Amino acid sequence: MKKVMGVSILIGAILCPLLSGESKLSFTRLWPDKIRYLNGESATFEVRLKNSSKEEWRGTVYSEIESLLTLRTPVFRKTVTLGPVEEEVFVEKMTIKLPGFGHALHAVAVSGKGEVVAEGREVICVGRWYYNLGRCITFFGVRKFKSPEEAYEKLVKKWRKIYVTCAEHFSGTPGVWAGMTPKTDEWYSGQGGYPEGIRGEKAVVESAHRNGIAVTVYAQTGSYGPIGEEFARAHPEMLVYNERGRPAGWFNMAKMDFFRTMTEENHKFGTAGGVVPNVALPEVQKQGVDDIIACSRLFGYDGVRWDGDTFGANYDVFGNKVKGDIDELNARWVRYMEERLMSEIPGYTINYNYHPQSQPEGRKLPKTYKEMGPNAYILWESMRGHYKNPNHPLNLWANFIEGVRAEVNKYARPGGNFQHLGWYAPKSEIHANHTQAIYYALGAHWDSWIKMKYDAVSMRYGYYLWDLRLRNANDAGEFLQVDDPEGRLWWRQFAQERALQDGGRELIIHILNKPLKERQSGFEKDAPPVQHNVRATLTLKPGERCLSAFLVNPDAKDRKWQTKLTPRQHGNKVTITIPFIEYWVFVVWKVRK
């Protein structure tokens, strides 16, 4: 009898979910029409709820926007009856009026008994500075797209899935400098040989904009391919020359001749070389910016990425050497570019390739970077290769963290720039998780084309990662103690503070579970062991008290990232316990006198 009972319990356990209508209820789609909104803009949210069971379900469905840590903005609330295997689509419009950075569209289904039976979250962001709200991506070779719908299906849809807020058309213009605005319907881009076309480009920009994604165009002081060759012919006075009196740059005539007649059948990627315009000359500056404006108006670009230094120790066509403070000249050029672009295309942004100031590479250009800010994007592009080289100091995790931290502290946050770092495509998710966590925990951005673990969570909590008012603390050990007897955690380097208007302050303490090895490896196979019940104790300033503490765990399942903690305060010490750390958590403490 006992045995039979056991069997019936087992059968019951198997059948129970099938019989229960509530357990088969799920949100099949939570879809904001855009990934990024501006305040005042109308948003459309689509929410689909499906009843997969064979029984009718009755209950309440509501949706809200979750913002910051505690703010909730209702979207809709409805009493719903769903027949067996029925799906209902809720399409709700609302006018956005939300704080900057990330939010979650949260949908909940509640049974008649008041139980939450289904729940879902999708992340969006609000704000103008798209560089600082999510991820960036590059694209090229879009001649093939015939409509925005096709561009969406084959390209933009993927961007939405990885929470891209800014897509850069990398080197897709016919000649880059002096050839950004196409004169033909189709072309191969002078720098990469990418097949491009006006229709395809407009389709991508249109589709990206429909989805709230900004599109920027790549530019630099290089005029490439046959267009660059023609520019050099028509305007020798506009070029920069080397000491031999020849145009600076490089070219290969075999490739140039091939490029001139290249067709779809014999198409090859790559460039035939290019020449360098002399941006020290006002007429050249004007010509370059005119071209950026013309192509941006034609395609609807939202900004430009300016690649690399503009000035070097070069000559003009008459043999006069470029003199003076190169950084100052560069800064003047940036100012000119910024002033004209911003006045002629409202909301236009500029970003800049970046030579790290704390690393021995490239020229130091502090004036240039200062001129870039605020709200520009600077890219430490060379970063992407360093981790692969065992001889490079940045191959060591400890140096890597210090390198990134120094750059962000010195040149990104104080200048109001958004620091993006070179993109990686590692073979190891473990390595990518660590790297992405380190960037975000230090206030930098990740730039890549692959789907990563922290794409959604970083956008949702962008206010706690990328707000330019955050300041990295020198050493969190001065006010924090994390119980870590085996030295498995990083936290001292990863603390930020933000002064609040009410006189209080917010402390954001990131704790990372260290990789197992000292060196980086793009092929890392071993994840660090998960750390459990980690205690952290904050030392308050005299007279301060802890108002709240929230834990954000980006590794949490089902997007349930956020937990309110119950801190225990003894004197000026406040202690919390973190249940587990897989790779990365952060705690947001609010304190005030």
Partner 1 sequence: MRKEIMKHRWSCVLRVIAVAVLGVRARSQATISERPLWTWSKTEERIAQSHTMTIDNGRVQFLIKRCIQLWFKLNRNHHTVGWAGPNQANWYHSGLFELRINGRSVNVDRSDLRIVESGERGAVDFLLENKFGRFRTRMLILPKSDALYIEWTLEPKVEVRSIELRLMNFPGSFASLDRKRKRDVVSPDGVATRRNEPYPCDPKKCWWFFFRDAIFDYAVPELRESCYGTSGLVLPSSGPEEIRLYLGNYRVMPELIYEASVRRFRVALIDYFKMGNKESLKQFETERARVRSILDSVGFLPLRLVRAPERLEESSRFGLSEKARAELARLRTLLAEMPERGRWAKEPVTAENDTLDLLDRVEKAVWLAEKKGRSTIAVLEFRCLHAELWGVKEAISKVNRYQTAYRVSHYAEYYWKGEEISCCPLSWGEWSKLDIVVLSNVPFSVFGARRAKALAGWVRLGGGLLILGGTHSFGQSGMDDPALGPLLPVTSKGAFDMRPLKKPEVIQLVAGDSIAGLAELRWSAKPSVLWRHLVSARPGASTIALFGERAPFLVICGRDQGRVAAVCAPPYGEPAISTTPFWSWHDWSNFLARLLLFLSQKPEHKN
Nearer Cβ to partner 1 (113/323) = 323
Give me the least distance between CB of 521 and partner 1, in Å please. 5
Give me the least distance between CB of 130 and partner 1, in Å please. 33
Strands in 71-82's sheet, in edge-to-edge order, are 36-37, 116-126, 101-111, 57-67, 71-82
What number of other Cβ atoms are within 10 A of residue 414's Cβ?
15
Nearer Cβ to partner 1 (261/566) = 261
Identify the helix (H) or strand (E) that includes residue 403.
helix 397-407
- Cis omega (within 30 of 0) on the bond before 374? yes
Nearest to 512 by CA among 486, 533, 491, 492: 491
Return the residues of window 272-291 that contact partner 1 according to CB under 8 A. 273
Check residue 434 for interaction with partner 1 (CB under 8 A).
no
What number of other Cβ atoms are within 10 A of residue 68's Cβ?
16
Among 122-130, 236-244, 433-441, 549-557, which window interacts with partner 1 (CB under 8 A)? 236-244
- Quote the DSSP letter at residue 35: S
Check residue 237 for interaction with partner 1 (CB under 8 A).
yes
Residue 499, SS3 per DSSP: strand
Q: What residue has token string 């072309």?
A: 187
Please state, in angstroms and rounded to a whole number, the distance separating the CA atoms of residues 202 and 447: 24
Which of 268, 363, 427, 545 lies at the binding interface for partner 1 (CB under 8 A)?
427
Nearest to 345 by CA among 200, 214, 445: 214
Check residue 390 for interaction with partner 1 (CB under 8 A).
yes
Give me the least distance between CB of 423 and partner 1, in Å please. 16
Give me the least distance between CB of 235 and partner 1, in Å please. 7
Give me the least distance between CB of 218 and partner 1, in Å please. 21
The CA-based dihedral angle spanning residues 443, 446, 451, 457, taken in that order and rounded to the nearest 10 degrees: 10
Position 382: which residue type?
A: S
Please state, in angstroms and rounded to a whole number, the distance separating the CA atoms of residues 180 and 192: 14
Nearer Cβ to partner 1 (283/475) = 283
Check residue 247 for interaction with partner 1 (CB under 8 A).
yes
Nearer Cβ to partner 1 (169/386) = 386
Return the residues of window 515-544 that contact partner 1 according to CB under 8 A. 519, 521-523
Nearer Cβ to partner 1 (253/499) = 253
Give me the least distance between CB of 129 and partner 1, in Å please. 35
Nearer Cβ to partner 1 (172/277) = 277
Position 207: which residue type?
A: S
591 and 547 Cβ atoms separated by less than 8 Å: yes
Per the document, the length of the chain is: 593
Check residue 474 for interaction with partner 1 (CB under 8 A).
no
- Quote the DSSP letter at residue 383: H
Check residue 8 for interaction with partner 1 (CB under 8 A).
no
Binding mask 296-325 for partner 1 (x = CB under 8 A): -------------------x-xxx------
Among 254-262, 339-347, 358-366, 560-568, which window interacts with partner 1 (CB under 8 A)? 254-262
Nearer Cβ to partner 1 (251/411) = 251
Strands in 568-570's sheet, in edge-to-edge order, are 480-482, 531-539, 573-581, 568-570
Environment class of residue 73 by beta-carbon count within 10 Å: exposed (0-12), middle (13-18) or buried (19+)?
Answer: middle
Which of 79, 95, 252, 539 lies at the binding interface for partner 1 (CB under 8 A)?
252
Nearer Cβ to partner 1 (451/519) = 519
Task: Taking the CA atoms of 357, 361, 364 and 365 in sequence, report the sign of the dihedral they define.
Answer: negative
- Using CB under 8 A as the binding criterion, the count of chain residues that bind partner 1 stands at 39
382 and 361 Cβ atoms separated by less than 8 Å: yes
Check residue 410 for interaction with partner 1 (CB under 8 A).
no
CA-based radius of gyration for the chain: 27
Give me the least distance between CB of 242 and partner 1, in Å please. 7
Q: In sequence order, what DSSP letters do the residues of 393-450 get, joined into one string?
A: GGGBHHHHHHHHHHHIIIIITTTTEEEEE-----S-HHHHHHHHHHHHHHT-B-B-SS
Beta bridge partners of 429: none
Check residue 58 for interaction with partner 1 (CB under 8 A).
no
Give me the least distance between CB of 259 and partner 1, in Å please. 11
Which of 389, 474, 533, 569 lies at the binding interface for partner 1 (CB under 8 A)?
389
Give me the least distance between CB of 317 and partner 1, in Å please. 6
Give me the least distance between CB of 269 and partner 1, in Å please. 18
Nearer Cβ to partner 1 (181/496) = 181
Give the interface with partner 1 as residue ranges (CB under 8 A). Answer: 229, 232-237, 241-257, 260, 273, 315, 317-319, 388-391, 427, 519, 521-523
